[in-house]
């Protein structure tokens, strides 16, 4: 029925009758959870996981396409009259509803809202699920999951999938947290390990040196849990320091192809010093500014513009704009763009020549 409504809204008659607005805008006013063009979701439940982390059970509308465990969504909310979007992994399913688990951090507008102000019945917007932090097919005989902090959210999703499949291979979960009070899904993971002999949970306390496993990632931890890098499909998600340490170790061991990464933050390549004071023209706004050492998104915001943006890491592509002329450098890879027209993520692009952006 709802798909028929979507089809009807696209008809020429609906466009004529709703002029000068759109049919979707009227339906959104009358039925906010259905109308509009995006995926809307109702917060069905809010569950406290730790003092700093909550899980939101979301009931999407008919536009939700489903997801593969390990993928993420961009969650959009309006706070104090401003639109905010952030990327969060789908940590699980409850009665067919996707769950996102969000850990608050200082200065995090959306993460603090989720932990302090969200209520059952609130409405949010979701992107279609994306990401390739998913299980391989066919399944290997061993998995090694490494997580730090809220990086456990996609690991939880992958573990649940394997449990549902009655996977019989070995699974080792190496989980780094400051202490038990900050260990998201602690009881769930302990229960899984207790009821499934092939799954081992290894908690590493990053602060308490009295614990058997403590400190930050090292080869000692891998040896202690009997990890076999040459035979295991390894997945790591967590803070940038953990990602970098694990990636370096796998590269030195010559098994980098067996490692799958999920980054919280973009790895930034050095910005050339000679890129200072290059003019950036925003054609729709009629503004020209300079962006010494800054991304185009930061330049736009510094000039008083408010472009759409989400993860600010080049992942969600919410900030994509049309570059009309000029070259930019991707701060994650250091790669240069062409000099002609193309769509770019302005949150990870810095100018290396004068640039013209359709914004």
- Cα distances (Å, whole numbers) of residue 100 to 36, 226, 289, 347: 23, 32, 38, 24
Rounded CA gap, 193 and 202, in Å?
Answer: 10
Residue 108 has pLDDT above 80, yes or no: yes
* Residue 326: predicted pLDDT: 93
Helix (H, G, I), strand (E, B) or coil at 78: strand
Q: Are strands 232-238 and 259-263 parallel, antiparallel or unpaired?
A: parallel
Work out the mean pLDDT of the chain and round it to a whole number: 88
Among residues 3, 137, 134, the alpha carbon closest in space to that of 65 is found at 3
Q: Which residue has the tokens 């709703």?
A: 18
* Residue 259: predicted pLDDT: 98
CATH number, span 273-358 = 3.10.20.30
Long-range contacts of 30-37 (CB under 8 A, 24+ apart): 32/123, 33/61, 33/123, 34/2, 34/5, 34/61, 34/62
Rounded CA gap, 217 and 213, in Å?
Answer: 10
pLDDT band at 29 (very low <50, low <70, confident <90, very high): very low
Q: Are strands 279-282 and 287-290 parallel, antiparallel or unpaired?
A: antiparallel
Span 59-86, average pLDDT:
90
* Residue 306: predicted pLDDT: 87
pLDDT digits (tens, 9 = 90+) for 254-268: 999 999 998 765 555
Helix (H, G, I), strand (E, B) or coil at 246: helix
pLDDT digits (tens, 9 = 90+) for 268-286: 555 544 455 789 999 999 9
* Residue 3: predicted pLDDT: 56
pLDDT band at 86 (very low <50, low <70, confident <90, very high): confident
Residue 1 has pLDDT above 50, yes or no: no
Among residues 46, 34, 51, 48, the alpha carbon closest in space to that of 122 is found at 46
Rounded CA gap, 159 and 173, in Å?
Answer: 9
Residue 290 has pLDDT above 50, yes or no: yes
Residues 32, 34, 37, 41: what is their CA dihedral angle, to the nearest 10 degrees? Answer: 80
Q: What pTM does this model have?
A: 0.76
Among residues 97, 159, 146, the alpha carbon closest in space to that of 126 is found at 97
Among residues 315, 324, 316, the alpha carbon closest in space to that of 342 is found at 324
Residue 28 has pLDDT above 60, yes or no: no
CATH 2.40.30.10 domain extents, the chain: 38-126
pLDDT digits (tens, 9 = 90+) for 308-331: 887 787 877 789 999 999 999 988
Among residues 144, 152, 167, 170, the alpha carbon closest in space to that of 55 is found at 152
CATH 3.10.20.30 domain extents, the chain: 273-358
| Domain spanning 142-263: CATH 3.40.50.2300 | no
Alpha-carbon Rg for the chain in angstroms: 23
CATH 3.40.50.80 domain extents, the chain: 142-263
Residue 233 · residue 136 · CB < 8 Å: yes
* Residue 13: predicted pLDDT: 67
Which fold does the domain 38-126 belong to in CATH? Elongation Factor Tu (Ef-tu); domain 3 (2.40.30)
């Amino acid at each position: 029925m709802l798909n028929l409504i979507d089809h009807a809204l696209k008809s020429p008659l609906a466009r004529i009758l709703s002029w000068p607005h759109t049919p979707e805008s009227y339906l959104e006013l009358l039925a906010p959870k259905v109308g509009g063009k995006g995926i809307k979701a109702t917060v069905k439940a809010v569950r406290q996981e730790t003092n700093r982390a909550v899980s939101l059970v979301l009931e999407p509308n008919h536009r939700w396409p489903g997801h593969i465990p390990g993928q993420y969504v961009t969650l959009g909310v309006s706070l104090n009259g401003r639109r905010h979007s952030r990327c969060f992994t789908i940590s699980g399913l409850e009665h067919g509803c996707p769950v996102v688990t969000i850990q608050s951090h200082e200065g995090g507008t959306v993460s603090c809202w989720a932990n302090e102000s969200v209520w059952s019945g609130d409405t949010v917007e979701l992107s279609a699920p994306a990401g390739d932090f998913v299980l391989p097919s066919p399944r290997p005989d061993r998995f090694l999951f490494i997580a730090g902090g809220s990086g456990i959210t996609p690991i939880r999703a992958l573990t649940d999938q394997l449990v549902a499949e009655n996977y019989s291979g070995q699974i080792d979960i190496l989980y780094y947290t400051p202490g038990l009070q900050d260990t998201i899904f602690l009881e769930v993971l302990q229960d899984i390990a207790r009821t499934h002999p092939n799954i081992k949970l290894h908690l590493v306390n990053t602060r308490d040196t009295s614990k058997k496993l403590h400190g930050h990632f090292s080869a000692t931890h891998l040896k202690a849990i009997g990890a076999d890098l040459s035979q295991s499909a390894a997945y790591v998600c967590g803070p940038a320091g953990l990602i970098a340490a694990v990636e370096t170790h796998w590269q030195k061991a010559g098994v980098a192809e067996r490692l799958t990464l999920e980054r919280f933050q973009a790895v930034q390549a050095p910005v050339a010093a000679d890129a200072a004071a290059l003019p950036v023209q925003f054609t729709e706004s009629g503004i020209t500014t300079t962006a010494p050492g800054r991304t185009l998104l930061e330049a736009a915001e510094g000039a008083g513009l408010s472009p759409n943006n989400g993860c600010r890491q080049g992942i969600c592509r919410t900030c994509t704009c049309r570059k009309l002329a000029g070259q930019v450098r991707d701060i994650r890879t250091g790669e240069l763009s062409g000099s002609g027209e193309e769509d770019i993520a302005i949150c990870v692009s810095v100018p290396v020549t004068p640039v013209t952006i359709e914004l």
